[in-house]
C-alpha cells in the first residue's frame, strides 16, 4: 500500500495587548468590552481577596459581562493539580465557553495555574492577566508560559498567551518588601539581556523604585516587559533565543534545590546572576567592570550576592537535574557584553571547574 505524507507549517499567530501604568486597572472594562465575553471568571489568590478582588470584580461588571469569582490558596502551593481541578470545575459551573474570559489576578503562581486552566478548558479560552507582584508584572505575566508543579517545578504546562495584560504598579503597594525585592532580580536580568540602555535605566531609577515611586516603577517595568516581549516574539516556544531569559537561572535553580527552597526564587536568581556573570568573565571575557555593575545593582536592591555555605559539588549535582539541558550537557546563556549573549555548551568537568572558580569568588 502506498503512503501519503503531508507536511504543513502551522503557526499560531497571537496578539497580546499590554497596558502598563499606575491606574491601568481602570482599563479593565474597555479591555473586556473589546473581547466581549458572554461571561468571565476572576481567579485570584487569598491574599488579594479583601484588597484588590472587590475592585477588579466591580470593574469587570461595568463591562456588562456576567462575572463570577473564585479565590484559590496562596503562594506556590496553588500551582498544583488539585487547584487545577477546582478551577476546571468552577469554569464548568460558571458555564464558560471558549469565548469566555478568565481574568487572573495575582502573583506568578496564580497566573501560572489560572493560565494553564484557561489553556486547557475547552482546549483554550481567553485570558486576561492582572499581575500583582513585581516579579509577575516584570516577567511572568507575559510570554505565554503556564503550568503547575507535579513531582518538580513547572513539569506540566502549556504555552497560552494572555489576550491582554494589565500592569498597574499601584497593586504593588500592599506587597511585602521581601517579595518586592525578589522581583528586582528578574528586572536586573532583563536589563542585562537588553544591554547598556537597560542597565542604565535600572541604575538611575533604582533608589526611586525601592521607594516604590510610581513613575520609576512604570518605566522600569515597561522596559522589562518590552525586552521580554521582543525575545518571545522571536522565539515562541523556546527553541532558540528565548533561552537567554534563563540567564542566572542554571545556578539559581540549582541553589534553590540545594537549599531545599530555603532561598526564595528571587534570592537564588540574584546569586545565580552574580555567579554566572563571573563564569562569563572566565569563559567569554565578559568585562569584570560589567560583572561588578550587576553585583552592585543586586546589592543595592537588598538581594543576596554570596553563596550560602554550599559546596560547588552540591551545586553541580543539583544542576544535573536541570530540564533545560539538551542531551544532558550543561548549556547556559552567558553574556559576552551587556546585551550580547552566547549559548555556551560545556562538558560536566568544564562546567564544574568554571563554577567552582566563580563560587569561590562569591563565598
Ligand X SMILES: NC(=O)c1ccc[n+]([C@@H]2O[C@H](COP(=O)([O-])OP(=O)(O)OC[C@H]3O[C@@H](n4cnc5c(N)ncnc54)[C@H](O)[C@@H]3O)[C@@H](O)[C@H]2O)c1
Angle between helices 177-194 and 288-300 (to 10 degrees): 160
d(CA 139, CA 149): 19
Residue 2 C-beta: closest distance to ligand X, Å? 45
- Any idea what the Cα angle at residue 251 is, between residues 250 and 254, rounded to 5°? 90
* Residue in 20, 101, 109, 243 binding ligand X, rule: CB under 6 A: 109
Residue 328 C-beta: closest distance to ligand X, Å? 23
Note whether 344 binds ligand X by CB under 6 A. no
Note whether 267 binds ligand X by CB under 6 A. no
* Residue in 47, 71, 224, 259 binding ligand X, rule: CB under 6 A: 47
Question: Segment near ligand X (CB under 6 A), from 131-139, 205-213, 252-260, 296-304?
Answer: 131-139
Question: Segment near ligand X (CB under 6 A), from 31-39, 135-143, 191-199, 284-292?
Answer: 135-143
d(CA 50, CA 40): 19
In our burial notation (b when 16+ CB lie closer than 10 A, e otherwise), range 220-245 reads bbbbbbbbbeebbeeebebeebbbbb
Minimal CA–CA distance to 278: which of 155, 361, 156? 361
Cα-Cα end-to-end distance for the chain: 67
H/E stretch holding 39 reads strand 39-45
Angle between helices 249-258 and 265-284 (to 10 degrees): 130
Residue recorded with cell 470545575: 89
* Residue in 139, 168, 219, 322 binding ligand X, rule: CB under 6 A: 139
* Residue in 112, 218, 256, 322 binding ligand X, rule: CB under 6 A: 112
State which residue, 184 or 355, has the beta carbon closest to ligand X.
184
Minimal CA–CA distance to 253: which of 239, 244, 243, 263? 263
State which residue, 147 or 352, has the beta carbon closest to ligand X.
147
d(CA 64, CA 192): 43
State which residue, 42 or 291, has the beta carbon closest to ligand X.
42
State which residue, 60 or 130, has the beta carbon closest to ligand X.
130
Note whether 199 binds ligand X by CB under 6 A. no
State which residue, 65 or 246, has the beta carbon closest to ligand X.
246
* Residue in 108, 169, 330, 335 binding ligand X, rule: CB under 6 A: 108
Note whether 31 binds ligand X by CB under 6 A. no
Q: Binders of ligand X among 161-190, rule CB under 6 A? A: 171, 174-175, 179, 182
H/E stretch holding 166 reads strand 164-167
Quick note: the x/- pattern for ligand X over 55-94, rule CB under 6 A, is: -------------------xxx--x---------------
State which residue, 76 or 353, has the beta carbon closest to ligand X.
76
Beta-sheet pairing, 156-159 with 145-148? antiparallel
Catalog residues that contact ligand X under the rule CB under 6 A. Answer: 45, 47-48, 74-76, 79, 106-110, 112, 132-133, 135-136, 139-140, 143, 145, 154, 171, 174-175, 179, 182
Amino acid at each position: 500500500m502506498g503512503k501519503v505524507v503531508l507536511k504543513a507549517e502551522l503557526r499560531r499567530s497571537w496578539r497580546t495587548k499590554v497596558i502598563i501604568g499606575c491606574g491601568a486597572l481602570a482599563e479593565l472594562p474597555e479591555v473586556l468590552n473589546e473581547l466581549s465575553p458572554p461571561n468571565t471568571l476572576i481567579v485570584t489568590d487569598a491574599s488579594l481577596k479583601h484588597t484588590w478582588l472587590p475592585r477588579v470584580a466591580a470593574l469587570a461588571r461595568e463591562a456588562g459581562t456576567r462575572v463570577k469569582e473564585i479565590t484559590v490558596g496562596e503562594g506556590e502551593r496553588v500551582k498544583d493539580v488539585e487547584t487545577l481541578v477546582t478551577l476546571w470545575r468552577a469554569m464548568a459551573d460558571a458555564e464558560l465557553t471558549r469565548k469566555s474570559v478568565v481574568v487572573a489576578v495575582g502573583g506568578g503562581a496564580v497566573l501560572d495555574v489560572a493560565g494553564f486552566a484557561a489553556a486547557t478548558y475547552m482546549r483554550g479560552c481567553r485570558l486576561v492577566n492582572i499581575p500583582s507582584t513585581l516579579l509577575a508584572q516584570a516577567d511572568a505575566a507575559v510570554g505565554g508560559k503556564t503550568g503547575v508543579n507535579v513531582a518538580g517545578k513547572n513539569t506540566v504546562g502549556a504555552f497560552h498567551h494572555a489576550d491582554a495584560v494589565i500592569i498597574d504598579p499601584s497593586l504593588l503597594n500592599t506587597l511585602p518588601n521581601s517579595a518586592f525585592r525578589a522581583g528586582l532580580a528578574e528586572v536586573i536580568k532583563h536589563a542585562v539581556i537588553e544591554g547598556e540602555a537597560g542597565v542604565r535605566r535600572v541604575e538611575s531609577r533604582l533608589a526611586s523604585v525601592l521607594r516604590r515611586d510610581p513613575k520609576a516603577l512604570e518605566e522600569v517595568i515597561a522596559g522589562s516587559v518590552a525586552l521580554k516581549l521582543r525575545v518571545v516574539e522571536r522565539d515562541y516556544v523556546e527553541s532558540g533565543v528565548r533561552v537567554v531569559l534563563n540567564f542566572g537561572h542554571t545556578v539559581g535553580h540549582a541553589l534553590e534545590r540545594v537549599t531545599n527552597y530555603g532561598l526564595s526564587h528571587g534570592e537564588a536568581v540574584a546569586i545565580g546572576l552574580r555567579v554566572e556573570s563571573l563564569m562569563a568573565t572566565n569563559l567569554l571575557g565578559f568585562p569584570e567592570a560589567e560583572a561588578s555593575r550587576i553585583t552592585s545593582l543586586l546589592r543595592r536592591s537588598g538581594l543576596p550576592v554570596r553563596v550560602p555555605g554550599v559546596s560547588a559539588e552540591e551545586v553541580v549535582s543539583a544542576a544535573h537535574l536541570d530540564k533545560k539541558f539538551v542531551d544532558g550537557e550543561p548549556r547556559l546563556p552567558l553574556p559576552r557584553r551587556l546585551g550580547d549573549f552566547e549559548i555556551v555548551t560545556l562538558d560536566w568537568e568544564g562546567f564544574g571547574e568554571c563554577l567552582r572558580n566563580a563560587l569561590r569568588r562569591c563565598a
